[in-house]
Structures are given as C-alpha cells and as structure tokens.
Amino acid sequence: MELEMKDKLQEECGVFAMYDKDGFDVAQITYAGLFALQHRGQQSAGIAVNKDREITLHKDNGLVQEVFSKDILNNLKGTMAIGHVRYSADGEQSVLNAQPMVSRYIKGQIAVAINGTLTNFKELKQNLEQDGAIFQTTSETETIMHLLARARKNTGRVETALVEVMKQIRGAYALVMMSPQKLIACRDPKGMKPLCLGKIDNSYVLASETCALDTVRAEFIREIEPGEVVVIDKDGLRSIKDNCQDHKKAKMCIFEYLYFARSDSIIENMSVHVARKQTGKILSETYPVDADIVAAVPDSGIDAAIGYAEAAGIPYAKALVINRYVGRTFIQPTQEQRTTAVRLKINVIKETVKDKKIVLVDDSIVRGTTCAKLVSMLKEAGAKEVHMRISAPPFIWPCYFGTDIPSKEHLLACNHTVDEICEMIGADSLGFMPVERLHEIVPNINCGFCDGCFTGKYPYDHE
Amino acid sequence: MELEMKDKLQEECGVFAMYDKDGFDVAQITYAGLFALQHRGQQSAGIAVNKDREITLHKDNGLVQEVFSKDILNNLKGTMAIGHVRYSADGEQSVLNAQPMVSRYIKGQIAVAINGTLTNFKELKQNLEQDGAIFQTTSETETIMHLLARARKNTGRVETALVEVMKQIRGAYALVMMSPQKLIACRDPKGMKPLCLGKIDNSYVLASETCALDTVRAEFIREIEPGEVVVIDKDGLRSIKDNCQDHKKAKMCIFEYLYFARSDSIIENMSVHVARKQTGKILSETYPVDADIVAAVPDSGIDAAIGYAEAAGIPYAKALVINRYVGRTFIQPTQEQRTTAVRLKINVIKETVKDKKIVLVDDSIVRGTTCAKLVSMLKEAGAKEVHMRISAPPFIWPCYFGTDIPSKEHLLACNHTVDEICEMIGADSLGFMPVERLHEIVPNINCGFCDGCFTGKYPYDHE
Amino acid sequence: MELEMKDKLQEECGVFAMYDKDGFDVAQITYAGLFALQHRGQQSAGIAVNKDREITLHKDNGLVQEVFSKDILNNLKGTMAIGHVRYSADGEQSVLNAQPMVSRYIKGQIAVAINGTLTNFKELKQNLEQDGAIFQTTSETETIMHLLARARKNTGRVETALVEVMKQIRGAYALVMMSPQKLIACRDPKGMKPLCLGKIDNSYVLASETCALDTVRAEFIREIEPGEVVVIDKDGLRSIKDNCQDHKKAKMCIFEYLYFARSDSIIENMSVHVARKQTGKILSETYPVDADIVAAVPDSGIDAAIGYAEAAGIPYAKALVINRYVGRTFIQPTQEQRTTAVRLKINVIKETVKDKKIVLVDDSIVRGTTCAKLVSMLKEAGAKEVHMRISAPPFIWPCYFGTDIPSKEHLLACNHTVDEICEMIGADSLGFMPVERLHEIVPNINCGFCDGCFTGKYPYDHE
Amino acid sequence: MELEMKDKLQEECGVFAMYDKDGFDVAQITYAGLFALQHRGQQSAGIAVNKDREITLHKDNGLVQEVFSKDILNNLKGTMAIGHVRYSADGEQSVLNAQPMVSRYIKGQIAVAINGTLTNFKELKQNLEQDGAIFQTTSETETIMHLLARARKNTGRVETALVEVMKQIRGAYALVMMSPQKLIACRDPKGMKPLCLGKIDNSYVLASETCALDTVRAEFIREIEPGEVVVIDKDGLRSIKDNCQDHKKAKMCIFEYLYFARSDSIIENMSVHVARKQTGKILSETYPVDADIVAAVPDSGIDAAIGYAEAAGIPYAKALVINRYVGRTFIQPTQEQRTTAVRLKINVIKETVKDKKIVLVDDSIVRGTTCAKLVSMLKEAGAKEVHMRISAPPFIWPCYFGTDIPSKEHLLACNHTVDEICEMIGADSLGFMPVERLHEIVPNINCGFCDGCFTGKYPYDHE
C-alpha cells in the first residue's frame, strides 16, 4: 500500500483529536496519532492547537514527519488539538485545501477537519454563493464552516449549530472540530466513516482508527455512534444524539476492512486483520488449488495469504521481496523498459518458487499491470503454476463517498470477464472474493456495511 | 532492517559497476543497481562515469534517491560507471569520505569504490606519510589510490599495479575501479566480501549482491573469485589470478547470510533466504516449543520465522505490524516515555496473540531494549507465553572486517548469560542459533565462512 | 532602504496588473513589474493569471525572485494578470495573508490585490460576521472580497459592485482585481496611494509606481484618478467616476516622495528624485554650514545629499561605503558588541573624512541608533565636525493609512527635542526638514498631500 | 560589481585569518572578515578552525551568509582560524575545489587557503605525479600542500618547509595556513596580491584588504612584505624574510585599485577610493567636455565620477538608479528582448538627464553591451549628449596572475579602435584612462605595480 503504485486505490483522509486534562503535550501526541494514520493520506498533514481560546495552525503538503519539525511542534502549545492527514481525490494539490481549516466567525475561531465526502456538496455551495459567500478553496470543510457560521447566528451553542448543519449535509464523514472552548466530533448518520474515542488518564482522544489509540497508548472507550455529536469541554464529555439512527443499520464502508485500514485496527468491533484472514479462508474454500505454497504480494496481500495458507493447509512462503527504500523521489526507469518500476520495487526469491505451484494473494486488481508483471516474474523464475487470488470482489461501480476509484475505462473488471482478466495477467487461474460472502468476513461487526463499489447499492442517494 | 533502530548492526557499503557495449545509459542502470543495494549503506551514495577517458562524479550524503535527481543522472554520461552506497563505521560523516573517490595521477584519472576494511590501514598510512603523502579524507579508498599511484610508477599497466597493491594491503574488501580505459574489480584473497559478475546483452556489470543483477535484469555469470582481478575493456574481460588462493578455503562473512544481504540474493552459490529459513528450522529443532503460533519481528525475523513455522508444523501468524512511514526525520517521542519509539513503529494485533503461546523470531539481539519492549507489548495484549528465538548466535567478539558491532559494554551477550538475557527481556524462554550448527545453514556454499564475531577466530591477523 | 535595518520604516505593498491584447507573456511581465516594485514590500509576492475565465495563483513568502522560478512562471499562462508584493504592518507573516487573494463567488472567480489600509476595517468585519461570514485570514483583502460578493447579489456587474463597496470602505488604497472577464482597478477617493496606467502596444498595464512601467518598457498614460474605477476588457478601457472627487483636493501620501517610492518614479506629475533633491536644497538654506564636504548615508540619503551639495556649492563626497552583500540570512554579531551590525554593513572612507567638516544627509531618524553609530564612526576616522541633516520632518504622529511607524515610545522625536537628539547621536548640529516647507518639495504635484505623520492632521477620520 | 553581469571581470579570491589570544570567537570574526571580502569571490566560502591541534572545516558553494548558519558557526570553535572566499577563474565549480583545504600529513593536519595563481602550476603538478602523487582537485592549493608535505620530510619546521616551497613556485599569491600549532602567512616575492596584518587587543588577524580589518574593528599594523613569511604562535609573531626582495620593486596588481578592491580599503599605503577619484581627475584633464552634469554607472563608476565632477567643476548628478534586489536567482527576460536584463537592473531618472549634456563614468568596458544599452537609455530619456569616460585603460593583454579576462575575441578593445568602440556604444565621445598616467593615480604607493593587462609587460615569466 505504501508503494504509491498507480495501480492502487486511495482513501480520503484520517483525523485525530485530543482534549487534555493531564498536562500532556497535545501537539506531540497528535503528531504520533497522525503518524499512525499516515496510510489514510500522504498528501498533506496538519495540526491545530487551542491555547486559551486562540487557535494556532500548522499544515503543509507532505508526510507527517516532513510537515512537522521539532521546532514547529514545540510552537504548537495548547490544551486541545485536532489533526488531519489528507489524500486528495479531486487532484487538487494546493496547500490551501489542506486540513484542518481555521476561520474566525462571529463567536471567535473554529478549526475543522473532516474525513469524508458530501454528496450534496455542489448544491450546498450554490446556495451559499447565492447568499454572498466566497470560497477560497475547493474543500468541503470550508463549506461546512460557512454552514456553521450561518447556523450559529440562530443558535446559542456551537454544538447545536453542528447538529443543525448535519441535517443539511448528506454524505459519509467523520468530523473533528474545536471552538474557543470545546472539542467536538461527529459521524454521519449512516456511520460510513470510522471514528473512535479513547482516553489517556483523564484526557480524551479521538481517532479514525484504533491503531492511533494504541500508538499513543490510549485506552479504547468506544466508537462514536453514527449521527452522534460528542462535545468535550472542561466539564467532561457529553453526547447529542438528535441525528442518531439505529446503530445496527449503519453502513460502515467495507473497504476499510479490505483495503484502507491498518490491519491492527479494530473498527465497529471487528478486527481488520481477522477480516482479511477471513477473506483468505473464503478464497481457499471457493477456489481451492493443489498448490505447493501460498505467497502474498507484499505487503497488501499478506493477511489474506496467511489466512489462505492456514485454511488450506499449504505452507505460507516468501516468494516476493519488496525494496523498502522506494520513496516519492525515486526516478522511474525510462530506458527502453529494460528495468520496469515493478522490478525495482519487487524481486522474486527464485529458490522459493522454482518448480512450484503457487497461490499468489493480493487485495485488489485495479488496472492489472502490476499483477501481470508479478506473474510473469514468477514464471520467469521457474514457477510451474501461478494461481491468483484477490481478497476483494471486482470494482464495477463508482464510489460517491470518498474512495478514489479510477473511471470505468481504467477499471479492468468493468470491461472484462474474470477469464479475460486471468488471461491478461497470465495466471493459471484467478479468483475474486465472492460479493455474496462479504458478510462472512466481518462476523462481529456492530452494524451493516456499504458495498456499493461492488454492488451499485448505496446507503445515500447521490447526485 | 530499514528502521535504523539503534539496536541494529550496520554493514559497510555496497558497490556496483558497468562497462557498456550496447549503448545503455550506464548512470541510469548504476542508479537502479545501487538502489537495490541500498540496504548495505544509507549514509551516502555516489556514481562516477567515464566518457572518453574523462571521469565525472556525483556523490552526496543521503539515500540513492535523495542524492540523484533526473537532471543529475542525465548529466552523467559515459560508457563505464562505478557506484557506491556507504555506511560509515567510524562515524565520519563528511561527504569528503563518500565514494567513489576520483583522483588524477600520472596516467590520468582513476575512480575507486570499496566495500571493506583494511586491517593494516594505520601502518600503510604512516608509511605513505613518511614518504610525503597528504590525506584529505580518513577513507581507506584514498590510501589505496595513493598505493596505486606509487605502484604505477614501476608497472606498465594499472591492473598490474592493483595486483601489487593487493599484496600490500590486508583485510576484507570488494573493490571496483575505473582507469581512463578500463573497468577493474577485485576481491580480497580470503573472499570475505561478496562481488558478482553479470551481463546485460554484451555489457558487463558487477555488484555486491545478485539482487542488484536481478533489478537491472542482468544475467548472473559468476562470483569474482577470492583474490581475482578482473579487467574489462574494449577487448572484453580477462582475469588475473596471481593473488588467488583455493576458492574452497575462502571465508565469506557468515553475517551476509544472517543479516546484511537481501534475502533474494544468492552469495557463493547459496540463497540468503534459504539460509535464513534454515536457521528457523535449526532453532525449531534445538529449542522446540508447544506453541500456538510462530510470529516474526518485522521485517528482520520473517524468513527465519517462516522456516521455524514450516519445520515445527505450527501456523505462521502476523502478530506485529510495522509502520512503514518511519523515516529519518521522524521526531522521537520525549514526553515521559508515554509513547516509546518502538510503539510508534510497531503495534500488536491483539486478535492474533490473545491467549496464545507464541514463538517470536528475530535475527539478533544487540542491546535488548527493542526486544524487551516487544515482549512486553505482546504480554499486555494477552499473549500467554512468548518464546524468543534468535537466528544468529550471540555476538561476543569484535569484527575487524567492517561490521559495526557496538563495544562490549553495550553487547548484552558479552555481559550476561542466556538465562539472564531471557529474564531481562521478559520472555518465557530464549534460544540463540547454536554456533556449532552454523555450517548447516549454508549447505551449498562454494567455500568456508568467517564467524569471528561469534567465535573470535578470524581468517586474518589484525592489529 | 534595502538594508532592512530596524531603524527603517516600512511601506505596505505594491501592485501591478496587465491586460494583454498583443500575445505577451503576462506572468513574465508582471514578474518584471513586481521586481521593480520590490522596495515596496519584501515579505511575500504573488501573481494571479486569468486564462479563459479560470484564475491560477502562485504566491509565497519571500522576494519576487525567490517566490518565482522559471517553471512556476511558465505555468502561469493567461491573458490577464495581477501581482502584489507585500510588507506586513501587523506582523502577521502567514502565507495565507499573502496577496493576490483568489476566491470563488456566485459569478465565478475573482482575484484581488491591494496596497492600502481600511480605517473602518474592524467595523466592516463585525458586520460581516454578524451576517454569517467566516474569515480565513486577517487580511483586508478578504474583507473586500466578502463585500464584493454581497454587493454582487444586487448588481448586474462586478464593477458596479466595486463602486458600491468603495462607498462602504474608508481608508487609503490602490486596488487591482480580475473577474472572469475583466481587469479592474481603483484608488481611494482621497487618492492617498499611487496607481498609474501604462500601455505596451495595445495592452494595458497598471502599477503602483512608474518605475515599473519603465522596467517593462510601457508608455506612461496617466494616473488613475482618486476615486476612479477603471475597467479593462475585450472592448477596451472605460472609467467610472461615481466616487471621484476633485483631483486637486486629493491627498497623496508625502512619504512616497520622502521615503517609500523609488527615486526614478514620477507620482502625480512629480519626480521623486527631484522632490528629494529639493529637500536637500531646503535643508541647505535652512541650516547652512561652512562644511568641506557633503556626504550621504547610503543609499537613503543620496538624492538629498546631491541636492544639498549642489545648492550649497560644497563638493559631494563619498564618505561611507555600504556592503551590498548584506541579506536576510546574515548572522548578526553577538560577541560583546565588538562588531556591530552597522559596522558590518557600512564602513568609512578615512581619506575622505579625515580633518573635514562634514554635512551628513539621511532621509529619517527613527530610533537614532544607526545614526549615532555612523556619526561616531566618522569622528573616529578623524572627521572634525559632523552636521546631520534629515530630509523628512520628525515623526510625531501615528499613520492610520499603512505606514508602519513604531509606537511613540520608540520614536526618538516624540520624546526628545531636536537639541536632545543632536546630543544623543553625537552630531555637531542637527536639522530636520521644516514641516512648513514640505509643499516646496513637490512644486509640480497634481494634488494636495497628506502629512499626518508630521502634523496629526489626516484626510479621513479614523478609529 | 555585485551585479554579476557578464560584462564584468572577476577576481580570484580573498583570505582572512586570526590567531586568538583574548578569548574571541575566531569563527564569528572570520565570518565577519570574509563578509567584508565578499566582493573578491562569490562562488564559495569556507572557514577552518584549529582547536587543540585538531582542525575543523566548513565550506560550500555560495555567499558567506549562505554557507554559514548560526549553528554551523557555533560548531567552529578554536583559537585559530583561516577563511576564504572564492571566484573560480577556470570555471571549475566543484565544492571540492573550495578553500580552505585541509589535509593530514606526517606532522598532523594543515589547512591552507590562497588568493592567487601559480604560473608554473602544470610543471609542478607533472613533477609530483611522476613522484606518485594523486590529485583529488584541480586546485593550486592542493599542489602546494603536496609540496609542503614533501618539503617537510627534510625540514624541522613547517615554516622552513614553506620558505622552501616558495622557492619552487612562481606566481602571484597571498597565502594563509594553519599547522597544528601555528598560523602562517606569506605573499609572493613580487608582492602582486595584497595581504595585511592587523591586531584586535592581543590577537593577530590577517586579511586581503583593510576593509576587513575595519569591519572586525582590528587595528591596521602593516602590510605583509613581498616574499615575507609570518609565523604566529603562542610566543607571538615572527618574520622570515629569506624570500624577500626590495619592497619598492614589488609589483602590486594595478587592477586592485581600478576594480577589485573595495573603495574603503588601503593597499600598500594607497587609498583605493582616492586612486579612483584620481582617475576621474585625470579623465577630466585628458578628455574635457562642456557638460551639464557628471553621472556614474552605479556602483562601479561612482568614485571616478565624483573625482571627475570635482576636478571639472561640473555638478555630480544621479542619472541612473540600480535595483538592489537583483540576485543570482533572478529570471532573465526572454520574451523578444522587450525587457532587457540591463533595464531590469538599471533605470534612468528622466528629470536628471532631459536636455542635458552628460559625462557618464564607468570603470571598464569589457564586451560593451551594457554600456551601449545605458547610452541608448539615456538618449531615449532625452539626454542631448553622452560622453563616456572609462577609468581603466583598454584591456588588450591576458593576465596570467588570476584576473579572469575574457579571451581576445570577446574583448572589444582588442578588436576595435577607440573611435569604433565609441560608435558601437553610441556615445558622443569616449575616453579611456591613459596607460602612461596610471602611476599618477597611486602617488603614495609603497612599491611599483603590474599593469600587464594593459601593456603586456609582466613581472614574472609565464608559460
């Protein structure tokens, strides 16, 4: 996933927040939390802190550790913080669109950061423009700040304004924000994006995934409920459930389990790693092979491959080695395709694959080029057979809620049958995770899930 | 290995070279080759190219992809190249010490790059100083260039001078160099450092490890023999074996298999991955446990853990997750040890380890702090037992040939029994690879090996 | 002036704009224009271009030549451009406050850049906040964009909205802006900030000073009139004079002549260099000295010193040499004041001053420390007498229109008589430009001038 | 001079050194000293300090203030320092060639920095190569270090070795060096390059020009004599005059007065500013004009213009304004020559020149393009006549001693008569400083001077 291959899908952001009651360094802890969420967005990072009602912000394009230096962190003092890592689905790379966003309105400063997508974004914006609003970015966060400022005119409290705004916006989101005196968070009423609550001593933290809680040694308390608004201030935490619906009917994005989330996270009571192992088991049941070894495409296929190997009773083996030093400044090869990008990143262990029948597991096929290259490298190294197993079903529908799926003409599965794809990638067989068994990979989940990108059925209407 | 934890040992460098006969872009290919050897040295990188007898050099501190931009590579045109990645054992970080080094002597320019250490370095330098030599760096490469320049006065050819210099120097080394018209390479007579020869069409390449040959799609031809000097020029390749001894008696550094080399490399006819898997098998035979799962410390313990699991018939499982985004600019946590460096880099998958008896495999224990932290994290997450298995024997002797082993007071194994270490790291049992079975992990090796860091017996005398 | 000594006063910005009809590279020309205006603001620089109704912006902290590279300029293609250089009076250094600012409102994008200050800024902002507006910066430009967006709801054209907004805002400003199809510019009704119109072939340019017209080889057409709105689009240029008042009664900031503007500029028909020479003449009449030479503090006192020398018939001499290499990264001396900052920047030519009676001319005394240091250096070098002459009157009142004058406690002239100051700086005599003769330095000016910082009488009320 | 126009000539370096006895921060003072010598070389800068016999070096390409940060300076602790600023005549831009150079030889470390050129460089190098020496740079400094190391074998003291080396080398140079315990300096026996001695309290400093002494507030003691070796150690300063010749017969480079040196420096008892004023006086006598004003090309012609104006009794005026913000990153105009580089840097003050007969003074004409442009700008602005006066004679011979004069085909004066040049630059008349009166500009000089670039007569033979 960290390879930033063009064959990979992208998520839109992670959030972290903290309200300190113990004298912790909130910026330092938010930095560590964002670092744990780096896989959710590598384009920009930002932290806003609140000290005595004044908000200070630092954000920039780059990885968390590129954006923040020791000096910068030391200048971010306060008792509350919100942080954000971002992937931009719309290709808009301007740092103006980085989050958190901070603005001043009638009641002082607010800072807002969102992981999510509004399906009625255009409509909201047009209404605001007709009312004289100006937009300095293309970010949905700015739109939400406009709505908050307007709602605030008629309400006594910022959290009431947020409850009001949630009624106007539609989509999938997890939001954290600071007013001069409060840290506030909410999830969309369908609960499509994850957001959990933790505690360090007497201080609350919020994070997109539990791996960030583990990293900062916070105790996991609970998920924020779908539609819930949580307000944390000097008097403690309280909850507003005006927009809440039945938690059981919420629709967590299934892609969090298959792809986005870190495998050590637990989302809606379900371990991501266990879900992925489960896909391996289901794949081994659905498409059994008389193979010598099961191997993973590193690192994306490892969890499912371990699950496949265990379920099938076939040894798990290391067939492919990844070069960990590939970074964003790596110069792509140009000379007559002699050395391809894939070969620079991944090599075969010949001794593992020579004369072997291999099950090769990955989490997705997007364009198929990487996959084809790997199969051919394995065959070149002497593999007798390569059976490709993919732990997600084929993408054939767009996502309106934040996943940056390529357009149909670039999606292999939209234009080809499984047999055609199998031939194109040169595998001896190919099996995708069956859509109808997706529910089996998340047995303990608290709620339902959205599998719109596989089925075309979505929890919200969209434009 | 890529984590640069202080608990890790360090190698001293990798080399790559190419003599083009097909019109390839030698700098581009050397760049890709060095990138594949990046694990051998992350401190500096350099490439020298030779065009029409004039040598151009670019080198700097940093990773390969940091040191070279597209523009820089495009300016490195030529028909020969040598490249180098460096780890500095002596802590000398000046870019002056980066390699390759280029100098002009009586016969024009020479460029030299070495992976290795001379045990009679001080003596050689003193002799040269008494003869009026000046030293602008602390590098052994500069000393070798001095010796070459002096030897060249009395010999008709540069390769004859090199053969002469090899008689004066003592130590472990793999060297590549360019004269105005020739690409030359050699290994020390004991063959302690690896160097292999490959071919792309009609063009020769040389590399510290075969993984670099794979990356540039070169065909593996053979190892350079211990003591051999190979000369490549417009008339092809020829070999000078004046300094060669019996290849079978050579002493390849065993640490290449246990630690330094990439697991997809083959050194002296022996697969590094297979050698590592073999350590797992031997550990499972020597210290059997009735465990539920076998897990690796990522990524250093993976090969051995797979070998252990397979040999013991216990499922291989993913218990620890590594954060791939840790880089050199990461800000270490300072605040009251709340979040330790280890926790930022590695997290436990609780579902995997809860109520389980675990075999945890790593490749070494240096200071023991990381190891202790990991055991404690596993226990916190509910592991019933943690049995630590280390795929290398304990280091108890210094290395005089380039491995940067901490001084005795920092080496846990020098000051404590295995039982004491086991208690210190909090494991339920601890087993190191038995020294006397090391030969079993390299069954196909062409030669002998040096295990001086475990036994105190070295192939060369030293100061 | 370019020395950024703390003893110096600071202006707030310069603007440049172009509407192309000849196929010129508008970004390149705007870059050259801003470069000529660099003395008006060194904190940030920005250029926005309009291509087919879409606006692209690049801005950053730094000098013009630091902010723009060749690649960046090449990516700024369009047929209109506005540019800005900025000095931040409020100390707010965030790049968010850099100009131009671009936002999207109901009618598409607008870009706005201002040189100036609104005296009713707070009041305007409060009104907007009560109406639900959010502010992402502390810039007056953002406030004006809010007002434009609101005014635009009720008006058919953007220029009509601007005329409307000009009625709401109070202060001194020169503004340039782009709508999707028009380039628009205006000056405040009192005409306190300069803005002139030029032409290159059939293309119009606008600039704060004529030196920018000269630099891009534009022909000077005329000043924008106080209160005038100029609209340039595909149909040519037209003027809206709804807010115009009698040009003769306008109040150009006298400080432009004394201090801010480049001496090769002509403002309101009056050459800045001639005005400065004139101060020298008046000083020589008011405070005659029987001196051997007249010398300038480089470079700020040169024009007036030449005027003094010519009027008094005393030779103009070079007594002080400036080190041109002083830049922003220069490390200030700390060691026991051994070497002061002044001495690093300026040295005395002993042969010029030894045994001489010297008239030393500068344009201002703010804190007096530099001045005292220079007098002492001259005396040390053997000067018999040093008679200080200052081409501006003493500052004793605040400026509400953009000049960043230190607060009263730091203004020497607020707390001391001329005699006291003379003693403090160690001069043999001291003469300031008499306030009552200021009108004599601008004989050809088209209008009146504001000398509020010397007299406390301002053209507008202020908060 | 600071404009780095291609029309400008270049010097080769400046040196500074300090031996501390008072507890000063030697790096800080050397930094200030080099900053004062920045005009002698803008390509690279370096400082080496000696603390307890160990030398630490920092050098890099760039201006003094770019190369050194506060942190870097703070890490350069010691009781001796030598520093260097460099212009590279040979176009070799590698930082390896930056100075000072540090090397280790039989007696420990030495650091050497030179301003100068050896005319027997090739021959010296060939001899060394035949003796087995290797060269890592193309710098003459490295060659001198080789010679010192060899001479040191047979001599008891480093200064004796230096005296010996001076007998082997031929050319123009000022050298500063540090051995483990001594600071040593020397000038070539003909005294072609300047080097002076100063004192701060009990600590000695050495500098290429007295302006650096002034900047660090050192008292000027004396010039180092031609051929003299000065040794400073814990016992104080002593002098070795074995290579000294008659000081009166020394041949200081006349170009230091005309061009290179800062006008506030005094070289061999002669003020640079006074020498330059003198050229103006001579020009006014030789080529009198009935002009209205005398103006300078800023900044290079100012001293001579003031001299001309004073001698001719014509008012000195400011006709041209320079844009001080031009730096190395400035993007040159490309678009159809609309805006030329000269116009971006210099503008005319129309009010000064309109309908005036002007004498325009500069220090040299190299290619003539800038000059032609300025004359045309003055005429465009309404100048009636422009009479060009050049304070140096025409260059028609090469310099073998360090001045980077373009080859003959680029030197206007080599290929054209004065009348032709006058026509080419469009002036109404043109007068160069007469060679035969050069001696008049340095009436107080201690010695003779070299005017080889004007006469072809040189003090040393050359290759």
For every residue of D150-217, DSSP letters joined together read HHHTT-SSHHHHHHHHHHH--EEEEEEEE-SS-EEEEE-TT--S--EEEEETTEEEEESSHHHHHHTT
pLDDT 10s digits, C387-411: 999 999 998 888 888 777 777 777 7
Of B36, B66, B335, the CB nearest to A323: B36
Q: Do chains A and B touch (3 or more CB pairs under 8 A)?
A: yes
User: Are residues B85 and B40 in contact, defined by beta-carbon separation less than 8 angstroms?
Assistant: yes
Residue D291 has pLDDT above 80, yes or no: yes
A13 in catalytic set? yes
> For chain A, what percentages of helix, strand and coil (3-state, to nearest 5) are there?
30, 25, 40
A367-375 average pLDDT score? 90
| Average predicted confidence (pLDDT) for chain C | 91
- pLDDT given at position B91: 59
User: Are residues C79 and C26 in contact, defined by beta-carbon separation less than 8 angstroms?
Assistant: yes
pLDDT band at B3 (very low <50, low <70, confident <90, very high): very low
Residue A92 has pLDDT above 70, yes or no: no
pLDDT band at D9 (very low <50, low <70, confident <90, very high): low
pLDDT 10s digits, B375-399: 999 999 999 999 999 999 998 888 8
- Determine what percent of chain B is predicted with pLDDT higher than 70: 93
Dihedral angle computed from the Cα positions of residues B96, B97, B100 and B103, in that order, rounded to the nearest 10 degrees: 60
Residue B20 has pLDDT above 70, yes or no: yes
**Which of A146-150, A375-379, D92-96, D128-132 has the least mean pLDDT?**
D92-96
Q: Is the dihedral angle over the CA atoms D148, D149, D153, D155 positive or is it negative?
A: positive
Euclidean distance between CA atoms C461 and C400, whole angstroms: 9
Interface contact A136-C106, CB threshold 8 A? no
Residue C352 has pLDDT above 80, yes or no: yes
Residues of C in contact with D339 (CB under 8 A): 29, 32, 215-217
**Which of B131, B134, B142, B168 is the mutation pick for testing D, counting most D CBs within 10 A?**
B134
Residue C368 has pLDDT above 70, yes or no: yes
- pLDDT given at position A413: 80
- pLDDT given at position A156: 83
Residue A1 has pLDDT above 90, yes or no: no
Euclidean distance between CA atoms D130 and D124, whole angstroms: 10
**Which of A313-317, B285-289, D150-154 has the least mean pLDDT?**
D150-154
Q: Is the dihedral angle over the CA atoms B180, B185, B188, B193 positive or is it negative?
A: positive
Euclidean distance between CA atoms D349 and D344, whole angstroms: 14
pLDDT band at D2 (very low <50, low <70, confident <90, very high): very low
pLDDT 10s digits, D351-376: 999 999 999 999 998 778 889 999 99
pLDDT band at B2 (very low <50, low <70, confident <90, very high): very low
pLDDT 10s digits, A115-154: 999 999 999 999 999 999 999 998 999 999 999 999 998 8
Residues of C in contact with A142 (CB under 8 A): 136
**Which of B45-59, C399-413, D49-63, D183-197 has the least mean pLDDT?**
C399-413
User: Are residues A260 and A172 in contact, defined by beta-carbon separation less than 8 angstroms?
Assistant: no
- pLDDT given at position C156: 83
Q: Find chains touching chain D: ≥3 CB pairs under 8 Å.
A: B, C
Q: Find all residues with CB under 8 Å of A431, minimum gap 6, and list them.
A: A283, A286, A287, A387, A388, A389, A390, A418
Helix (H, G, I), strand (E, B) or coil at A395: coil
Lookup: tokens for A145: 């700040």
Residue D190 has pLDDT above 80, yes or no: yes
- Determine what percent of chain D is predicted with pLDDT higher than 90: 80
Question: Pick the residue with more confidence: A206 or A398?
Answer: A206
Interface contact C136-A105, CB threshold 8 A? no
User: Are residues D427 and D359 in contact, defined by beta-carbon separation less than 8 angstroms?
Assistant: no
Element (H, E) at B128: helix B121-130
**Which of A45-49, A181-185, B366-370, C154-158 has the least mean pLDDT?**
B366-370
Residue D89 has pLDDT above 80, yes or no: no
Interface contact D331-C70, CB threshold 8 A? yes
Report ipTM for this prediction: 0.92
Euclidean distance between CA atoms B300 and B278, whole angstroms: 15
Using a 10 angstrom Cβ sphere, with 0-12 exposed, 13-18 middle and 19 or more buried, the burial of residue B455 is: middle
**Which of D134, D136, D144, D165 is the mutation pick for testing B, counting most B CBs within 10 A?**
D134
Question: Pick the residue with more confidence: D369 or D443?
Answer: D443
pLDDT band at D389 (very low <50, low <70, confident <90, very high): very high
- pLDDT given at position C95: 81
Q: Do chains C and B touch (3 or more CB pairs under 8 A)?
A: no
pLDDT 10s digits, C81-118: 999 999 876 656 678 889 999 999 999 999 999 999 99
Question: Pick the residue with more confidence: C294 or D117?
Answer: C294
User: Are residues C1 and C51 in contact, defined by beta-carbon separation less than 8 angstroms?
Assistant: no
Q: Which of C228, C77, C111 is nearest to C180 (CA)?
A: C111
For chain A, which residues lie within 8 Å of any Cβ of chain C, measuring from their own Cβ?
96, 101-106, 129-136, 142, 145-146, 149-150, 152-153
Q: Do chains A and D touch (3 or more CB pairs under 8 A)?
A: no
Using a 10 angstrom Cβ sphere, with 0-12 exposed, 13-18 middle and 19 or more buried, the burial of residue B404 is: middle
pLDDT 10s digits, B316-330: 999 999 998 887 666
Measuring CA to CA, how many Å separate D59 from each of A428, B96, B426? 61, 11, 50
Residues of A in contact with C134 (CB under 8 A): 103-105, 145-146, 149
Lookup: tokens for A75: 């200048």
C41-60 average pLDDT score? 95
pLDDT band at B90 (very low <50, low <70, confident <90, very high): low
Interface contact A38-B2, CB threshold 8 A? no
B450-461 average pLDDT score? 87
Shortest distance, CA A347 to any CA of chain B (angstroms): 7
Residues of B in contact with A36 (CB under 8 A): 323, 344, 347
Apex A26 CA angle, A24 and A28, nearest 5: 100
Using a 10 angstrom Cβ sphere, with 0-12 exposed, 13-18 middle and 19 or more buried, the burial of residue D315 is: middle
